[in-house]
Chain A
Amino acid sequence: MKKYIFITVIIFITLTSWVLIEEVYFIVPENWPQPVYDFKQNKLTKEKIELGRILFYDPILSKNNKISCASCHSSFGAFAHVDHALSHGIYDSIGTRNVPGLMNLAWQPAFRWDGGIDNLDEFSIMPLTHPKEMGEQMNSIVSKLNQSAFYKSLFFQSYQDSVISKEKLLKSLSQFLLTLVSYNAKYDSVMRKQASFTKQESNGYQIFKANCNVCHQEPLFTNFSFQNNGLPMDSTLNDYGRFLVTQNTVDSFLFKVPTLRNIEYTFPYMHDGRFKKLSEVIKHYNSGIISYSTLSSSLQKKISLTTNDKIDLIAFLMTLSDRTFVFNPDFQFPKQLLTN
């Protein structure tokens, strides 16, 4: 009898705490900097995050209603496009740059490889409208959504207004994108003192700190700067990187430093996806850098790693793989779309 009373009390406490405690949708992990995204002007709610997820997976956003954001940003590839050197958009068209993984976007001050867009809410316009990505016009997307009873109802639940606007569409997409926070890799467990590196990983970490950490700064594994990392220019692309945004020659061949988190899943590598394997990336930094007037100051001094160092460094980079992130069911295809 006592057991049943006990259980009833526990169930009661559980249910009341469920109702009383407000759900938090965004957590700044321990020892991380504050995000740059202004959450005040787009307060996260359960309904809006879910709406953003549905939009992210719905091909209705593309011109031919066949591809979605998720076609190129697969959750299982940490939202990059595995095995595609360059972006692969509508009508099988091929773009000019590699699809980056999507994670920890609330901390990111600028978007695209050249940093051409500095606001997440405006960023989504580019892939939606680019003729080689989703190829649709914003007005046309808004009108397609406004003709859908499914979306009118979802927007009403989120905004208490069933009229769908461009702003609401973009902010809803941002809501979902902001929840893509990856902070549960083995590296994070080690930093939280819940796990420890193997000898090899530990050596790899020392090599990382000595050679890579200036640009790929912990804990986000990027300092969000733009750098020329000494890659020979690909004459099929003639990509001048950040110069295309600033028109300033000091920015020639500079690209945004990408995060190294989940790098195991986001192959191929570099802004043009030229390297299929991490060993090729490390080989480049060790012996492939070519001289430029705009070469990153951090790469002026030659990096010399032994064969074992290279293997250990890769072992460390593998500790940045966050399986709870790539397998998070909250980030996967929403079942509501099947019945829509």
Chain B
Amino acid sequence: MNFKSISFFALSILLLTSMELPVALTINQSSSQKKIKTLTLSIQPLFLNKKLILNDKIYSYSNSKKISIETLKFYITNIRFFEKNKMVFSEQSSFHLLDSDNPKSMNIKLSVPQALSYDSIQLGLGVDSTAHVGPMTGDLDPTKGMYWTWKGGYINLKLEGYIDGIRSRKNEFQYHIGGYQFGENCYQEINLSIYNKKASTINIGLELHDFIQNLDLVKQSHIMSPGAEAVLLSSQLVKCFKIIKK
């Protein structure tokens, strides 16, 4: 430590001690605290309506093309509940990084009011970097590999794997979708109607077949920066989320 920082530290301590400390805030222990319940959003990646299996499983799409998925990571943010188009609940600091490699991360546990009544939910796909996201901690920790730079912001979704016949090294494809600046904003909202309003788990499927079907992965094996393609893919991605009725 150098002298400059030591002296700065000494000065700060002095200034702090000469100030009045604020009275500790009393926490409002209202009775409504008891009326909280846990609601789980379980997001399940699917391939042709079946649970997606990573790595070894080889899937077919577009008749005969073969694909296997190695990585699927994405952000679900700004979770909101609606009733008759009016917002009735929104989760605070709502940032969740979902990683198919980590099944626990695919279940988002929410604390909602016991009496919450809703008919639809809205989820953000990706991190809306145009808004202030607050401290870069927890799922927003930039060392988790989902952050580009100030210019690119957060990566909303990573999808990586292998495709037969693709003209890339080891038949590999890598899609890193994100971007927040003007003309490059990939943040999207998913709106889903809820039928079973009493269930303690809302099951949501992400049908990857529908997404992959639209891609020309053989021609374009990599998307790894913000731009028009990433924006187009994001708008297609949100359509692949659906409520699974169990």
Q: In the complex, A57→B142 CA distance in Å?
A: 17
Q: Does B143 touch A at the CB level, under 8 Å?
A: yes
CB atoms of B225 and A14 under 8 A apart: no
Per-residue contact bits, chain B 124-152, to A (CB 8 Å; 1 contact, 0 not): 00000000000000000011010111100
B contacts with A: majority SS:
mixed
Q: In the complex, A77→B155 CA distance in Å?
A: 14
Task: Give the A-B pair count, Cβ closer than 8 A.
Answer: 63
CB atoms of B147 and A76 under 8 A apart: yes
Q: In the complex, A326→B136 CA distance in Å?
A: 12
In the complex, chain A residues whose CB is within 8 Å of the CB of B142: 74, 76
Q: In the complex, A326→B149 CA distance in Å?
A: 13
Given contacts A21-B3, A333-B149, contact A76 B143 (CB under 8 A): yes
Interface of chain B residues 210 through 246 with chain A (CB within 8 A): 222-225
In the complex, chain B residues whose CB is within 8 Å of the CB of A113: none
Q: In the complex, A326→B7 CA distance in Å?
A: 25
CB atoms of B145 and A17 under 8 A apart: no
In the complex, chain A residues whose CB is within 8 Å of the CB of B222: 88, 92, 94
Q: Does A126 touch B at the CB level, under 8 Å?
A: no
Closest A residue by C-beta to B2: A24
Contact of A83 among B4, B11, B158 (CB under 8 A): B158
CB atoms of A14 and B145 under 8 A apart: no
Given contacts A21-B3, A71-B149, A265-B143, contact A92 B10 (CB under 8 A): no
Pick from A5-13, A243-251, A252-260, A300-308 the stretch touching chain B.
A5-13
CB atoms of B147 and A18 under 8 A apart: no
Q: From residue B21, how far is it (CB to closest CB) to chain A in Å?
A: 17
Q: Does B8 touch A at the CB level, under 8 Å?
A: yes
Q: In the complex, A71→B224 CA distance in Å?
A: 11
In the complex, chain B residues whose CB is within 8 Å of the CB of A71: 148-149
CB atoms of A74 and B147 under 8 A apart: yes
A interface size (C-beta, 8 A): 32
Closest B residue by C-beta to A265: B143
Contact of A13 among B2, B4, B7, B224 (CB under 8 A): B7
Closest A residue by C-beta to B171: A236
Per-residue contact bits, chain B 169-187, to A (CB 8 Å; 1 contact, 0 not): 1100000100000000000
Q: Does A224 touch B at the CB level, under 8 Å?
A: no
CB atoms of A333 and B150 under 8 A apart: yes
Contact of B224 among A77, A88, A267 (CB under 8 A): A88
Closest A residue by C-beta to B142: A76
Closest B residue by C-beta to A11: B11
CB atoms of B8 and A92 under 8 A apart: no
Interface of chain B residues 6 through 44 with chain A (CB within 8 A): 7-8, 10-11, 14, 18
In the complex, chain B residues whose CB is within 8 Å of the CB of A21: 2-4
Q: In the complex, A195→B4 CA distance in Å?
A: 25
Q: In the complex, A74→B146 CA distance in Å?
A: 11
In the complex, chain A residues whose CB is within 8 Å of the CB of B158: 83
CB atoms of B149 and A267 under 8 A apart: no
In the complex, chain B residues whose CB is within 8 Å of the CB of A86: 169
Given contacts A23-B2, A94-B169, A236-B169, contact A18 B143 (CB under 8 A): no
CB atoms of B2 and A10 under 8 A apart: no
In the complex, chain A residues whose CB is within 8 Å of the CB of B8: 14
In the complex, chain A residues whose CB is within 8 Å of the CB of B11: 10-11, 14
Q: Does A82 touch B at the CB level, under 8 Å?
A: yes
CB atoms of A10 and B4 under 8 A apart: no
Supplied contacts A10-B14, A71-B148, 7 more A-B pairs, CB within 8 Å: A10-B10, A11-B11, A14-B11, A21-B3, A264-B143, A265-B143, A333-B149
7 nearest A-B residue pairs (beta carbon)? A76-B142, A82-B145, A14-B7, A333-B150, A21-B3, A236-B169, A14-B11
13 contacts between A and B (CB under 8 A): A7-B18, A10-B14, A14-B11, A18-B4, A21-B2, A74-B142, A76-B143, A76-B147, A83-B71, A83-B145, A84-B224, A88-B224, A92-B225
